[in-house]
Amino acid sequence: MSKYTVVFANGDSPIQVDGYINVEPTLRAKYGYAVEIGHDGDLSNGGDRTLFWADEKDAENDDGANALGEVRKA
């Protein structure tokens, strides 16, 4: 199973997650159900990272400036 690293923009220590399927529940547990995960060019589309935001409004038309962090393949 692939491992992923979640890096937080607020300086919290990065965490390792086993399998991409576990990324969403991990982020929802920390930030709540409204957390918005993903963007054009994210990991599922062959990109090098997936961003996440507090909610859909923060994610809309954002280049990552408002992102809470990112997920990268470890």
Q: For 6-23, how does the pLDDT look when each residue is reduced to its tens digit (9 = 90+)?
A: 999 999 999 999 999 999
The answer to whether 68 and 52 are in contact (CB under 8 A) is: yes
Whether this model's pTM surpasses 0.85? yes
Domains of the chain: total: 1
Mean pLDDT of 43-61: 93
In the chain, the percentage of residues whose pLDDT exceeds 70 is 99
Q: What domain range includes position 22? A: 3-73
65: three-class secondary structure by DSSP = coil
pLDDT the model gives residue 40 = 67
Q: What is the mean pLDDT of residues 38-52?
A: 86
